[in-house]
Amino acid sequence: MMTKQKIAPHLLFNSYLIVFIVSMVQIGIGVTAFQRPVFKHAQQDSWIPVIVAGIAAHISIYFITKTLEQFTDADLFDIHKEVFGKIMGNILNAIYVTYFSLVFVALLASIYEIIRTYIFFDIKIWVVAFMFITISMYCVFGGVRVIAGFCFLAFFCTMWMLFVLKYPLSNLKMVHYLPVFESSFEDLAKGTYQMVITVMGFEVLYFFYPYTKEKKKVRNYAFLGNLLSTLAYLYLMLLSIGFFSAQELEKNVWVSLNLFKVVHFPFLEQFQVIIISLVLILVAPNCITYLWLCSKGVKKIFGMKQKYAVYLLSVIFLLASLFFYKRPQINDFNKVVQAVMAVMAFIYPFFLFIYTKVYFRLKKNKEKST
């Protein structure tokens, strides 16, 4: 019998919000510095890995939604227990909670690095961590509808930034895009990997899906969210290649943020500070979502009330963030997290889809034989 879990009507939200949830979680902190690692491998063909990564995400979203459609209002934590049994299911759930926890701490470390670089040079990491953990706690306590609404708000508060890049857009050098298709397959593959670990985050569909009202529309809305984020990445990549030289792209870390350095308004003296503030709003949905997922996982595994899990995890994350205050440490930690994310977002969904198909087919045959 398939897993059945009754979701209270007051917790459900309109399916179209999946567009903003997927796009916000995909963009997040990655949009600030994705160009450099991709360009190191693919050079002027770096726009190709962006498109390939978007297609790969599209395929993975398909397998995720097809898996979810086999169950009734069940999230990934419930699916694990259903198809793998309670013990193995909880082990897999614990792995996912650990994964989400690593992502959350990596987000805090990256946010700290941006704030320290562009705004407050001597700020302590615990201050940044405390601020974002507090905001995340507040939204998580509000419930899944508040989280979905925050993603919706963050989308419209930040996406307009792409349209103020008039000066870089009007000063592109077409020679920077030539010759086309010069990069080898190996270089494009390496660039695609770097891009793939940037567009991840759509796997949160495993957990938001049960709370949607019109589940038949979720896949299309998720596709649209992925398309919007892919177009945003493609736009910024093409803009960066055409505006900056190859040497600048290989040297600069926060390429997207540096694009705004040349944007000036007569009534604003420090427009870049405003941009950094908006970037923090852009990152907030990621922090909120992953804290919610971690607390939800702890609740499912240990039977702990979710609010107590939020308190416990918040303290753990605050203490864990204290170990990452230098760029080499942050970079090394991010590489580990990104490798894990690649497996969780692109490989595991395909495996789980096949496994659940086989599971239900064997179960159906067993019921027929009895």
Instruction: Express each pLDDT in 60-106 by its tens digit.
Output: 999 999 999 998 789 999 999 999 999 999 999 999 999 999 999 98
362 inside domain: no
Mean pLDDT of 294-305: 95
pLDDT tier at 228, thresholds 50, 70, 90: very high
Distance (Å, rounded) from C-alpha 50 to C-alpha 52? 6
Residue ranges in 69-85 assigned as alpha helix (H): 76-84
Helix (H, G, I), strand (E, B) or coil at 165: coil
Band of pLDDT at residue 218, cut at 50, 70 and 90: very high
**pLDDT band per the 50, 70, 90 thresholds, residue 4:** low
| pLDDT higher than threshold 80 for residue 243 | yes
Is 98 part of a structural domain of the chain?
Answer: yes
Six token digits for residue 284: 């907030």
Count of CB atoms situated within 10 Å of the CB of 274: 13
What are the Cα distances from residue 296, in Å, to 185, 209, 247, 340, 343?
41, 14, 45, 20, 21
Specify the pLDDT at position 5.
61
**pLDDT value at 173 more than 70:** yes
Rounded CA separation 257/239 (Å): 12
pLDDT value of position 305: 95
* Cα dihedral across residues 219, 233, 53, 297: positive or negative: negative
Rounded to whole angstroms, the Cα distance separating 224 from 221 reads 5
Residue in 238, 243, 268 with CA at minimum distance from that of residue 258: 243
State mean pLDDT over 235-247: 95
Q: What is the pLDDT of residues 120-147, one digit of tens each?
A: 888 999 999 999 999 999 999 999 999 9
Pairwise CA distance, residues 140 & 127, whole Å: 20
Confidence (pLDDT) at 1: 44
Decide if pLDDT at 296 tops 60: yes
- Residue pLDDT, tens place only, 11-34: 999 999 999 999 999 998 889 999
Give percent above pLDDT 70 in the chain: 98
Residue 47 CB contacts under 8 Å (≥ 6 apart), including other chains: 234, 237, 238, 241
Q: Distance (Å, rounded) from C-alpha 259 to C-alpha 295?
A: 37
Structural domain that includes position 244:
10-357
Spatial contact of 226 and 57, defined as CB atoms under 8 Å apart: yes
- φ/ψ of 4, rounded to 5, equals -125, 130
Looking at the domain assignment, is residue 2 inside a domain? Answer: no
Domain CATH code at residue 295: 1.20.1740.10
Residue 370 has what pLDDT? 66
Number of structural domains, the chain? 1
For residue 70, give the amino acid letter: Q
Name the DSSP class of 216. Answer: G
Q: What is the pTM of this model?
A: 0.94
* pLDDT value, residue 335: 81
The encoded tokens of residue 147 equal 């989280």
The more confidently predicted of residues 263 and 195 is: 195
Q: Is residue 342 part of a domain?
A: yes
Asked if residue 365 is part of any domain, the answer here is: no
**What pLDDT sits at residue 275?**
86
User: Is there a domain that residue 3 lies in?
Assistant: no
- How does residue 325 score in pLDDT terms, banded at 50, 70 and 90? low
